[in-house]
């Protein structure tokens, strides 16, 4: 671990159910386990890890809650479903985890099942506000790359959607128009205006690929939250994507002039906003194979090639910080495909959604039992 490493923490959302159906028990889980909280839809539950700079500590922080939950789920003949959408056949009906929660009521009324998804939110500790907003600008421009590596939601309601990340296609970005924030004051004023206008219900109601986070939003901020990733069942891959993100942000801090889009892009901030939306849509449909537009110069580039180029750029710093071995699972994804690509291939070979997910559930259990790191 290098002295420049950042604190990292995770918010992990999970679906529960059987090998053929989603079953909602998050309200029970929240009462039984202090480190789990329910999501608006009862089929979805979340746990949060403590921040750490150490990847070995993070591995165990990610693994142990899952193993404890799985042990309890087994007593009910239930399991964890490693999909980011409601992949099994289901009725088009919201399953509220807390009928008395007004915010949940608002979400159900306004968004319905479009928000019934699971994902991984990766938080990086950044306390210097100028650096934080520079990182948010860069990561927003490159967020589709992280989605491409993590895509795991090609199925919905028992069918293949034709998309690699159905989750990100259906999840309602809110507000619809989100600017590139110039600085902290710009962010504060924008948040206050949107809450006053009713576009946002509260400070949490900013749903975008990346956002600032902290103990008292929007005024006290201390971290970047990457929200675009689909659920990642393989903890080694999750930590690889986290290391990729961390190394990219550290390289930004070493070269703000060339890596902050505000300072180095040939495009205007409005053009960048449109390009980011375009790239997120493209990756949601085709992930690693998507043709994207680069934020630096507006040139077209294949997603997989962009990732490979960045890995080459980061090769020296990853070795210097002794983090290069954490990146290995990314090379494997580039070679073999992400979860969606693998599942779609099996589906086109004739396997059912239930067969594919049963295999994915078993793979997830095997990885947990290996506990390699």
| Per-residue model confidence (pLDDT) at position 110 | 87
Q: Give the residue from 171, 168, 179 showing the smallest Cα distance to 282.
A: 168
Rounded to an integer, what is the distance from CA 245 to the centroid of its chain?
12
- Distance in angstroms (rounded) separating the CA atoms of residues 152 and 83: 6
Q: What is the predicted pLDDT for the residue at 2? A: 57
**Average pLDDT per run of 10 along the chain, which is 373 residues long?**
82 97 95 94 95 96 96 97 96 87 86 92 98 98 98 98 98 94 98 95 94 97 98 98 98 97 97 98 98 98 98 91 93 98 98 97 93 54
Spell out the residues 6+ positions from residue 111 whose beta carbon is closer than 8 angstroms to its own: 172
Question: How is residue 41 annotated by DSSP?
Answer: B
Which pTM was predicted? 0.96
Of 223, 284, 250, which Cα lies nearest the Cα of 11? 223
Contact criterion met (CB below 8 Å) for 278 and 295: no
Residue 84: is the preceding peptide bond cis (ω within 30°)? Answer: no
pLDDT recorded at residue 255: 96
185-194 CB contacts, 8 Å cutoff, 24+ apart: 187/133, 187/212, 187/218, 188/218, 188/219, 191/217, 191/218, 192/218
- Helix (H) or strand (E) run with residue 156 in it: strand 155-156
Q: Are residues 122 and 229 in contact, defined by beta-carbon separation less than 8 angstroms? A: yes
Q: What is the dihedral of CA 130, 171, 59, 81, to 10 degrees?
A: 180
Q: Per the structure block, which two tokens stand in for 47?
A: 């746990």
| CA-to-CA dists, residue 287 to 184, 284, 292, 303, angstroms | 32, 6, 10, 7
Q: Quote the CA–CA distance of 265 and 261 in Å, as a whole number.
A: 5
* pLDDT of the residue at 105: 87
**Fold designation for 8-370:** Creatine Kinase; Chain A, domain 2 (3.30.590)
């Amino acid at each position: 671990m290098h002295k420049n490493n950042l604190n990292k923490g995770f918010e992990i959302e999970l679906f529960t159910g059987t090998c053929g159906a989603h079953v909602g028990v998050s309200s029970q889980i929240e009462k039984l386990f202090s480190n789990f909280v329910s999501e608006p839809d009862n089929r979805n539950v979340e746990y949060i890890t403590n921040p750490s700079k150490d990847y070995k500590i993070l591995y165990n922080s990610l693994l142990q809650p899952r193993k404890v939950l799985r042990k309890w789920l087994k007593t009910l003949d239930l399991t964890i479903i490693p999909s980011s959408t409601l992949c099994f056949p289901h009725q088009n009906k919201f399953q509220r985890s807390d009928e008395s929660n007004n915010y949940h009521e608002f979400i159900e009324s306004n968004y319905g099942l479009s928000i019934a998804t699971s994902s991984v939110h990766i938080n990086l500790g950044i306390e210097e506000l100028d650096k934080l907003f520079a990182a948010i600008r860069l990561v927003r421009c490159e967020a589709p790359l992280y989605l491409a590596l993590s895509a795991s939601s090609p199925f919905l309601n028992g069918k293949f959607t034709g998309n690699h990340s159905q989750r990100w296609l259906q999840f309602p970005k809110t507000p619809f128009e989100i600017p590139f924030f110039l600085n902290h004051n710009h962010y504060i004023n924008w948040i206050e205006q949107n809450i006053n206008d009713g576009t946002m219900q509260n400070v949490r109601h900013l749903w975008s690929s990346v956002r600032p986070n902290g103990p008292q939003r929007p005024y006290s901020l201390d971290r970047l939250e990457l929200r675009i990733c689909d659920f990642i069942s393989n903890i080694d891959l999750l930590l690889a994507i986290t290391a990729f993100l961390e190394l990219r942000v550290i390289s930004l801090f070493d070269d703000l002039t060339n890596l902050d889009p505000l300072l180095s892009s040939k495009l205007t901030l409005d053009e960048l906003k449109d390009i980011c939306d375009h790239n997120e849509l493209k990756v949601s449909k085709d992930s690693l194979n998507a043709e994207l537009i680069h934020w630096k110069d507006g040139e077209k580039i294949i997603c997989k090639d962009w990732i490979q180029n960045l890995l080459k750029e980061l090769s020296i710093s990853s070795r210097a910080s002794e983090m290069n071995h954490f990146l290995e699972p990314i090379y494997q994804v580039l070679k073999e495909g992400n979860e969606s690509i693998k599942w779609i291939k099996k589906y086109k070979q004739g396997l059912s959604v239930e067969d594919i997910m049963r295999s994915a559930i078993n793979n997830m259990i095997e990885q947990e039992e290996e506990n390699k790191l």
